[in-house]
Amino acid sequence: MNEMASVDAAEQLPSIQFTGTMREYLPIAATNLLLTVVTLFVYRSWAKARERRYLWSRTRFIDDELEWTGTGQEMFVGFVIVALLLGLVWLTFNFGLPAIALRFGPAAGLCTLLAFYILGMFLYGLARFRGLRYRLSRTWWRGIRGGSSDGGWTYGRKAIGYYLASFLLFGFLYPWAQAKLWNERWNRMSFGPLDFEAQMTSDDTKGPFFAFLGAAIIGNLVIGLFTNPNIIVFGPGLPRLVVPILAYLAIGATYLNFLAAYYRSAAEWTRIGELEFRLNAEFADWLKFYLATIGLAIITLGLAMAVYEFRKWRFIAAHLEAFGTIDVDQLTQSQTHAPREAEGFLDALDIGAF
């Protein structure tokens, strides 16, 4: 084995490094925004492809930069197909459902409505899976790409069960369902010849989630109480909107705390070959990031959202670490299917793949 036959992530500090700068990215963001508006959002897919090519090319993983090979054309075709499909679903839901209820009765309408919700759960699950598969298949490192030969249909069906279990038990199984779905997605993915292994549990996320659930229940009761004009709370001198605003802030903060715990746990329990990961972003880090995002959006009247993806990518790269060793001699090109379609559902629904 030669001196480059193995790469130790622990010896490369940091193992994941983002070298992009706002000065470089601003012209890309500005022209993307301008062309997207001028073309009535037709250019959006090409803008995303251009954005990712820059972000990937400025991200160094251990000893080499990433490369994005996706194109705006394939992303646009995927978006159009899904937009037409979602439009058909919307028309059916808004016009077909009332017609069924009138023609066959309320029971038939209710069953059709439930069928729509189940279909939505399936499509959402399928979107998450295929979006991740597509992005891995267009991500290259050392001339090697990722992906999956799984079409995601089984994952979509399982997603229905996990979502229903969470819903029917009033959300108490949500942390368990999210951990299971994370494992289901990543355990079907690979990069080159190496398979991802995910063994996430809900042990680290149950506490933060139940804190959020409690805040949501109590907060909504308080909001309903203070916003009801027929109820006088602590006298007329108290500003009625102060307490509801505080309740909304508490709900948002506890949910953000759950997300921080979820992504920390997901990274910790996901590995590929001998590589392990750690996301050291705590609740305070996420809070600072989103407060800065909101503040910039307010100051710039929303224009700062054009650089949101840059800031988010930089944030994740700064907090994500990899540990372990890669045997370069074992790395060969992936034999997984490279899908032709892009992440149409994800793009149309604005869902994060990871």
CA 246 to chain centre: 27
pLDDT tier for residue 335 given thresholds of 50, 70 and 90: low
* Residue among 282, 346, 343 at smallest CA distance from 315: 282
Two tokens, residue 120 = 């939505």
**Share of residues in the chain with pLDDT > 90 (%):** 64
* Residue 291, CA distances (Å) to 214, 252, 253, 258, 351 in order: 23, 12, 11, 17, 21
User: Following DSSP, what letter does each residue of 94-152 receive, concatenated?
Assistant: IIIHHHHHHHH-HHHHHHHHHHHHHHHHHHHHHHHHHHHHHHHHTEEETTEEEE-S--S
R_g over Cα of the chain: 23
Q: Could you report the per-residue pLDDT of 203-228, keeping only the tens digit for each?
A: 999 999 999 999 999 999 988 888 87
pLDDT at 1 over 50: no
Whole-number Å distance between alpha carbons of 345 and 335: 25
pLDDT tier for residue 3 given thresholds of 50, 70 and 90: very low
pLDDT tier for residue 97 given thresholds of 50, 70 and 90: confident
pTM of the model: 0.89
Cα dihedral: 21, 45, 71, 318 (round 10): 30
The domains of the chain are located at 6-197
